[in-house]
Amino acid sequence: MASADHRAAAVPPANPDNDVLWTRGLHHAHAGSPALLGVSLGVSQGEILAVTGPRGSGKSTLLGCLSGQLLPDRGEVWFNSVPVHTLTAEARDRLRRERFGWVGASPQLVPELTAWENAALPLLLAGAGNRVARRAALEWLGRLDVADCARHRPAALVQAQRQRVAIARALVHQPEVVFADEPTAPLHQADRAQVLRTLTTAGRSHGITVVLASQDPEVATLTDRTLSLVDGRTSGAPAPAACSLSA
């Protein structure tokens, strides 16, 4: 009998590279329009992977499938030995809440909460005490240079500050993988560079795997590897050596 978390039994495919996250033959369509066409990829533990490509190339759909927000029409998505593509909606929600982090183009902060309360949400929802959650949130806000905004609500923050609070929220519960979908899209050039540095440095220093989708051509300079996505298909290419972006 299949477990309550799985729609069907699944056997992990061969994973010779011991990737923490990988797909095999991934297909997905939106309203009949193909978005992913047989994508297969692997991401190793602690790797910072950039997924690049033009608008409409399937980047957001790929991150949605990898994180369990979307189910593929065909193909498999594995997180370690967990078959994400067979999990129930409840199990996928739990996976995202406990083991994944997410940063999107819009910070989607709760307007009634302060910055530290927004950053602490994953811990509070997991049942952590208020004192523990607050301490962890303040530590991450400090690492992201927005500690002085801790008591402010989102309306009092500029866009770059709100995005840093969203990054703190994605990292506060020490996730194993952080997905970032166009996290710098609404920002000015200087702010884009700073936010990208912040996210990749935080992931690298804590051994967190980061999958970062972006149209920004400079993103490859901060990541370990770049995977190009065009018309729903991938072609891997090594990224330049990591270096700092100028603000």
Residue 183 counted as domain residue: yes
Residue 13 counted as domain residue: no
Q: What is the CATH number of the domain that holds 186?
A: 3.40.50.300
Residue 12 counted as domain residue: no
- Residue-wise pLDDT for 2-32, tens only, equals 444 544 446 666 665 779 999 999 999 998 8
What range defines the domain where residue 133 resides?
Answer: 21-238
Residue 16 counted as domain residue: no
Domain count, the chain: 1
Residue 8 counted as domain residue: no
Residue 239 has pLDDT above 60, yes or no: no
Residue 94 counted as domain residue: yes
pLDDT for 54: 87
The CB-based long-range contact list for 135-138 (8 Å cut-off, 24+ gap) reads: 136/172, 136/173, 137/168, 137/172
Question: Whose CA is closest to 212, among 11, 12, 67?
Answer: 67
What is the mean predicted confidence (pLDDT) over 118-130?
94
For the chain, how are helix, strand and coil distributed in percent, rounded to 5?
A: 35, 25, 40
Residue 167 counted as domain residue: yes
